[in-house]
Structure 1
Amino acid sequence: MVCPLRSLVRDYRRTQGLVTSPHRSHGPDMSFKCKPSQKPNKQFWRYASFLAFIATFLLVPSTTSWASALHRACYMAYVMTYLDTSYRDGSRAWPWFQRLPVWRLYCRYIKGQVITTVPLDPHRQYIFATHPHGIATWNHFLTMTDGCRFLSRIYPRPRLDLGATVLFFIPLVKEVLLWLGCVDAGAATANAVLERGFSSLIYVGGEKEQILTERGRDLVVVLPRKGFCKLALRYDCPIVPAYAFGENDLYRTFKYFKGLQLWVARALKLACPPCWGFPLLPFLPLPAPVTVVMGAPLSPRREGRAGGDVGGSRGGEPTREEVEDLHARYVEALTALFETHKVQFGGRGPGARLEVR
């Protein structure tokens, strides 16, 4: 058996370029393989969470009781799960968990629903580009579970959604996200997901959009975000624009020191905007209705080839002009989607406008 600490040190040396290897094995049970990111920040939370668990274990007073021994054994067994790579391959997705009745209760609490303007082909692969991020992306539970019948009636095709790296190193949160079919949002993982033919949901605005969240304000960060367009062109995968009306109204936020919050998010790859919901339960979202509206898929347009082939066929590296064209079409489609449904589902007046940054 390989020593966990030795494996951890070897991984760190490899990310720093101190050890070279033609390939890295993730074990025989992985659904697919992808190269780990070469950026140290991408591995920071993995090392930090593992060492924090070890430190906590060492600080707990030792006793001779069988209960303490059992507790320590279970504790160390759970710590070992932080050394696997399921957050990059999606091997722990659990369809039964995604269809539990509890998700229907959640949808009733926030009065959630998913609306599609055109039927989605269950045999086609899509990239669901979603806005806004909100404080905690509560709207994501409407589409990655069957609480609103999205998985059983609207789009039953297997999907692996992208989530922030740090979330996969928080106890219990990690397990829930893995069972719901979420994977790390790194570039290598995103490419591997689409190459294997999975559909995926991406929150394009990311941490910046999360920090800029304000009640009653409709703002999306999309102008500098073009990576999802490159993925769509590379794998001939149509983009489905989606807007979650009501997501920004679930929390009250602190409107000051946005610049400092953005700096912290860039430095730590972690956004923690001050917010509160109910007075006594601040993290519990307010019961504002949330409606995810999905527009018509945008097929990539490439010179001399057709887009949208089933199964993630490779279209090669896109040109700058192709990326700009698809990105402009997406921004236009997203804006039109908001304008069409802002009164019916967003509770906004006819004069409301979508801020595009």
Structure 2
Amino acid sequence: MAKIEKGYATPFFIGEFAAMVYFLVVTIVFPCCWLITIFLIIYGNYFWKIVMLTYLFYIHITNAKFFFNIKGNGFRFLRSNWLWKQLRLYFPVELVKTVNLPADRHYIFANFPHGVVTYGCSINVTFDIDNWLALFPGIRPRQTILNATFLTPFFHEYLRCCGFISVSEKSLMHHLTTRWRGDGFTSNGVVIMVGGAQEALDSHPGQYELTFLRRKGFVRVAIKSGAAIVPCFTFGEVDSFDRWDGHRAQSWQLLIKYLFGISITLIKGRGGCPLPFKRRIVQVVGAPIDVVQSDNPQPEYIEEIHQKVVESVKKLFEEHKSKYVENYENVKLVIN
């Protein structure tokens, strides 16, 4: 087993600053970009109306044709810089490899749980990738995001420069069947937060409640593309925030998730503010599950592979919880 050590403590307040910057980027910038766009279209002069409408048209046309990604690994200075290293050290966030992954094929990394904000996976896969490159050389890390979020005006330019891609099936198939070696990488590692918004709504400290018994789309994509599925479990992700809004999602939160596919949670961190608790976060990457490629996957085979993923996730949790979970004897894994 290989791992990246957590390193040294961050300078006073630097880690807190990095954590707040990340939180604001994830939660505030996205809606603000849409508000600015709508404002300019409705209240702007003819110049701004034409510019914004043309820009929106450009986004959707180019996304449909080229999946609007940047070839290669994005811009390195956005994916490995001093600020995000301070965020890694703030919790700290660690990355653990259980087996070697050859870079001669594509992978779907099925990561659990989502957590409220997804600090661990995003830091390891997107914002501070040096550790990833050391453990998985040759595998280009690409984190997925909702298509609606990925197409957000202005914001999506930043997302694609950081290596994000849309989680739509067409986008996934493109990245899992295309090889581009101009940057030295030989395969793509596409990371999917399978539990998504529902798992975020179910996130509470000390509780590991996963949502994926009925989520089999990623398995179908894996079979159609021939990509291996690599289960990942991020311990401590659920401990970064507590909740103001009770143990279960409220009706208005479920309605927003149904309409827009996103989750809105009333969180509280240190001092009751949206500053995450300093809790150790460890992402454990499991062994790959190979599939037999098929352009027309049969339901029985999809179910067979999906069950292997379920059992592999359970095994990861049980084998590693004693090392990364406090009072692990009383912590159970719930899969819905």
| TM-score bracket for the superposition, by shorter chain length | 0.7 to 0.9
- Residue 80 of structure 1 pairs with residue 51 of structure 2: no
- Structure number with the bigger relative contact order (C-alpha 8 A, sep ≥ 6) is 2
Which of the residues 307, 312, 315 maps onto 1:328? 307
Equivalent position SS for 1:80: helix
Quote the residue 1:251 is aligned against.
Answer: 241
- Residue 150 of structure 1 pairs with residue 132 of structure 2: yes
Which of the residues 101, 115, 129 maps onto 1:120? 101
Quote the residue 1:109 is aligned against.
Answer: 90
1:1-357 pair list within 5 angstroms: 53-56=37-40, 59=43, 80=55, 83-84=58-59, 85=62, 88-91=67-70, 94-96=74-76, 97-139=78-120, 140-147=122-129, 149-168=131-150, 173-197=155-179, 198-253=188-243, 254-255=245-246, 258-260=249-251, 261-279=253-271, 281-282=273-274, 284-300=275-291, 307=292, 315-357=294-336
Separation of aligned partners in 2, 1:327 and 1:99:
34
Equivalent position SS for 1:344: helix
Deviates more, 1:332-341 or 1:188-197: 188-197
| Superimposed CA distance per residue, residues 3-46 of structure 1 (whole angstroms, 9 cap, x where no aligned partner) | xxxxxxxxxxxxxxxxxxxxxxxxxxxxxxxxxxxxxxxxxxx9
Q: Is the 8 A contact 1:250 1:288 kept in 2?
A: yes
Q: Is the 8 A contact 1:114 1:143 kept in 2?
A: no
**How many residue pairs align between the two structures?**
289
Segments ≥4 residues shifted beyond 6 Å: 48-51
Amino acid at match of 1:108: L
Amino acid at match of 2:306: H
Q: Percent identity?
A: 23
Rate the CA distance shift 1:257–1:107 in 2: closer, same or farther, 3 A: closer
Greater share of helix: 2
Separation of aligned partners in 2, 1:77 and 1:267:
24
> How far off its partner does 1:102 sit?
2.7
| Superimposed CA distance per residue, residues 280-327 of structure 1 (whole angstroms, 9 cap, x where no aligned partner) | 641x32211110001111111xxxxxx4xxxxxx53211111111111
Equivalent position SS for 1:209: helix
Quote the residue 1:11 is aligned against.
Answer: none
Separation of aligned partners in 2, 1:78 and 1:108:
42
- Structure 2 gaps of 5+ residues are 1-29, 180-187
Larger Rg belongs to = 1
Quote the residue 1:16 is aligned against.
Answer: none
- Structure 1 gaps of 5+ residues are 1-45, 62-68, 301-306, 308-313
Separation of aligned partners in 1, 2:95 and 2:295:
33
> How far off its partner does 1:116 sit?
0.9
Separation of aligned partners in 2, 1:58 and 1:50:
12
Greater share of strand: 2
